[in-house]
Homo-oligomer: A and B are copies of this chain.
Amino acid sequence: MTTTLPPLRLGIAGLGTVGIGVVKIVQQHADLLAARSGRAVQITAVSARSKGKDRGAPLDGYAWEDDPVALAKRDDVDVFVEVMGGSEGPAKDATEAAIAAGKDVVTANKALLAIHGHSLALAAETAGRVIRFEAAVAGGIPVVKSLTEGLAGNAMGRVMGVMNGTCNYILTQMEATGQGYEALFAEADKLGYLEADPNLDVGGIDAGHKLALLASIAFGTQVDFDGVELEGIQRVSLDDITRAGEMGFKIKLLGVAQMSDRGLVQRMTPCLVPATSPLGRLQGGTNMVVLEGDSVEQIVLRGPGAGEGPTASAVMSDVMDIARGIRISTFGQPAKTLTSAPRAQASTVAPYYLRLHLTDKPGALAKVAAVLGDHGISIDRMRQIDHEGTSAPVIIVTHDTTRAALDEALAAFGTTGVVDDAPVALRIENV
């Protein structure tokens, strides 16, 4: 087979870390890309906020557009590569413009797709174009491809993942160094690991975006980021990590999506997972996704969740698919056929880890136990920690309960007069 297809021409919007990573791959591996796809892959035009900046790769062979929308509409662009980020504004405008102009889209933008993914997928479908987003989920790990294509013969069970490297870095460094959350947050900030709005990371939003995308593919549902139960890692204390460790667990910001009888469950919350499980062993900024299907049983994928090379590698996976003529629906099946599932996370059960601070007076523990009992929550283990002062930390591990019942019990703690401070409640996930 000789190369008879015309070159595939990319327009890259965004020349930050990821965009430059893509430029470098296209420049350095032109022969490899052509050999594998059967056609040349070229960059014809680029766009970014400031033109002058030295970005570490020559850009003078490419047309420059100040406006990503103009880039998206250019006649010499076949694939619009959106690596700007942001769910609204230029990224959204330019993506819509690209589809309207008959371009395929490759994007690393989890926020855009988590919020507008369904309408964009419908628009692309109508226009006969594809939107691909391998780089939006778990960096270099080919998880979108593995799920959409590799496991296409499976009815999916649970999809789980540690998909925010910054949070996992903070949590594992808290344990490794014995420093508290605040100190590690400051360190992550200094290392440049945090988004401009750090709440995207530590609040679980970024990881929640990714989970919502995977859930859509896994269960054939319209992406529903608002349906994700979100909780950040800000309230996880060193004490929690230590206590969990004593019981054989690690604390991870874990995403879980599954379809229950009552609807779709989507959660991105700090969880306790067995210390010896692959998820429990995950250190630092690495990502891990666990895919469970009825035939395949369990697949675990591990790799770098961010960074120039890994994210650019994922972008190029999508570009190469398009170069090779692979055209898959955005979420793995025609957008029109995606269903709207009820949200069901409140009704699923699990054991929970609770940390309370009790006023140090007789009967306090009994009152707490009574409130839990009143809400149908039975106690597996309870332990009072040695303490100084008037507030006694207590660790409780419950038997299976719904989050809804637990939230009611937590609210009722306030009426006992013995619980100081808001309790910490972390689900124990059987991974």
The winner among A146, A314, A328 for most chain B CB atoms within 10 A is A146
Taking the complex as formed, is A295 at the interface, i.e. its CB lies under 8 A from any CB of chain B?
Answer: yes
Known contacts A149-B149, A152-B321, A301-B302; 10 additional CB pairs below 8 A are: A29-B155, A140-B296, A145-B150, A149-B317, A153-B319, A278-B278, A296-B309, A296-B310, A297-B310, A326-B326
Taking the complex as formed, is A340 at the interface, i.e. its CB lies under 8 A from any CB of chain B?
Answer: no
Are A153 and B316 in touch, CB under 8 angstroms? yes
Within 8 A of B (CB), among A131-184: 134, 140-142, 145-146, 149-155
Contact with B along A327-340 (1 / 0, CB 8 A): 11100111011000
Instruction: Give Cα A54–Cα B308 distance, bound, in whole angstroms.
Output: 55
Are B303 and A299 in touch, CB under 8 angstroms? yes
Are B299 and A300 in touch, CB under 8 angstroms? no
Q: How many copies does the complex hold?
A: 2
Contact with B along A281-315 (1 / 0, CB 8 A): 10000000000011111111111100101101111
Are A149 and B153 in touch, CB under 8 angstroms? no
Taking the complex as formed, is A61 at the interface, i.e. its CB lies under 8 A from any CB of chain B?
Answer: no
Instruction: Give Cα A152–Cα B37 distance, bound, in whole angstroms.
Output: 9
Q: Which of B1, B303, B334 contacts A38 (CB 8 A)?
A: B334
Given A302-B302, A303-B300, answer yes or no on A151-B313 (Cβ-Cβ < 8 Å). Answer: yes
Are A327 and B328 in touch, CB under 8 angstroms? no
Are B298 and A304 in touch, CB under 8 angstroms? yes
Taking the complex as formed, is A36 at the interface, i.e. its CB lies under 8 A from any CB of chain B?
Answer: yes
Q: Which of B21, B145, B296, B332 contacts A145 (CB 8 A)?
A: B145
Taking the complex as formed, is A101 at the interface, i.e. its CB lies under 8 A from any CB of chain B?
Answer: no
Are B153 and A33 in touch, CB under 8 angstroms? yes
Instruction: Give Cα A278–Cα B149 distance, bound, in whole angstroms.
Output: 25
Taking the complex as formed, is A324 at the interface, i.e. its CB lies under 8 A from any CB of chain B?
Answer: yes
